[in-house]
Amino acid sequence: MEKPKKTVAKERIQKALDAIPHLKAQNHGSPEFEKWLRNTEVAIANTFGDKSRHSTDFTDVRYSLGIYTSGTPDSAHQRAYTRGLDSAASVLVSMLEEIEEYWPSDTGSTKAIAAADVPQEKTKNIFIIHGRDDGTKETVARFIATLGLTPIILHEQSNQGQTIIEKFERHARVGFAVALLTPDDVGGLAEKKTDLTPRARQNVIFEFGYFVGALGRRNVCALTRGNVEIPSDYAGVVYIPFDAAGAWKMNLVRELKASGYEVDANLAL
């Protein structure tokens, strides 16, 4: 099949992506969701081909529980539905990035040339780096969702036969990351075995450093809870305390706005 123009392809996929925040407010299996699913499958097939890996990646996303009973609460079905939409958003963002990076420009089109001069809107996907503190993770994820953004929590995304690092790299294509440095572990110098301090888990520190390198410091925010040890190589950078009063919300909104996101600060109040 003949590929559509680059601008047309981007518009098709972006339209599907932009609908996801609204769909999350609907019940699983709603008519709006079913219509969006059909329309998006058609858009992808007409953009990349109905037998392409892009179509397969999207149709492989699951929006329902694999196993459930008549006693399974509706909230569990809704969580599965929301996780599916998050996975679909990641797949669509990957398609957009592929079109932007590898598809040739629409030569001879003044409209396309003019559009190239307009800064591209940042992806709404926000990666949440977390350890074992599920309460803090869920609180931050819910707040990010209220801002109209999509929180990406790695273990909630489908594996699709990938190794852990492959899965991480796939879902790390985001515009911003929030690292939750919570006191889940303890550690210290080998010669001072009894002098241990609270630390974030090693996966948190690894992913924190990854995103600082991939996105730049201005696109990564660190929230700290309690008296947690700060990575030495990152000392001097401002960290945001995760306080019970909720001041962290306004501080996080400020960092998002500085990164280029159009978010409503009133939602942090």
Q: What pLDDT, in 10s, does the model give residues 27-45? A: 888 999 999 999 999 999 9
* 19 has pLDDT over 70: yes
- Distance, CA of 91 to CA of 58 (rounded, Å): 7
- What is the pLDDT at residue 237? 64
- Distance, CA of 134 to CA of 176 (rounded, Å): 20
- What is the pLDDT at residue 26? 86
* 233 has pLDDT over 80: no
Cβ neighbourhood burial of 135 (10 Å; 0-12, 13-18, 19+): exposed
SS3 call for 199: strand
Residues of the chain with CATH 3.40.50.450: 125-268
Report the half-sphere exposure of 34 (CA within 13 A, side-chain side): 5
- What is the pLDDT at residue 118? 36
* 115 has pLDDT over 70: no
Beta strand 220-224 pairing with 150-152: unpaired
- Sign, Cα dihedral of 5, 47, 161, 181: positive
- Distance, CA of 204 to CA of 210 (rounded, Å): 10
- Sign, Cα dihedral of 113, 117, 123, 127: positive
Beta strands in the chain (DSSP E): 125-129, 150-152, 176-181, 185-187, 197-199, 220-224, 240-241
- What is the pLDDT at residue 191? 79
Q: By mean pLDDT, which of 51-65, 94-108, 170-184, 224-238 is the weakest?
A: 224-238
The CATH T-level fold of domain 125-268 is: Rossmann fold (3.40.50)
Reported confidence tier of residue 231, pLDDT bands at 50, 70, 90 = confident
**Taking residues 90-115, what's their average pLDDT?**
73
DSSP state of 51: T
- What is the pLDDT at residue 114? 40
Reported confidence tier of residue 140, pLDDT bands at 50, 70, 90 = very high
pLDDT tens-digit profile of 173-216?
899 999 999 998 888 777 777 778 888 899 999 999 899 888 88
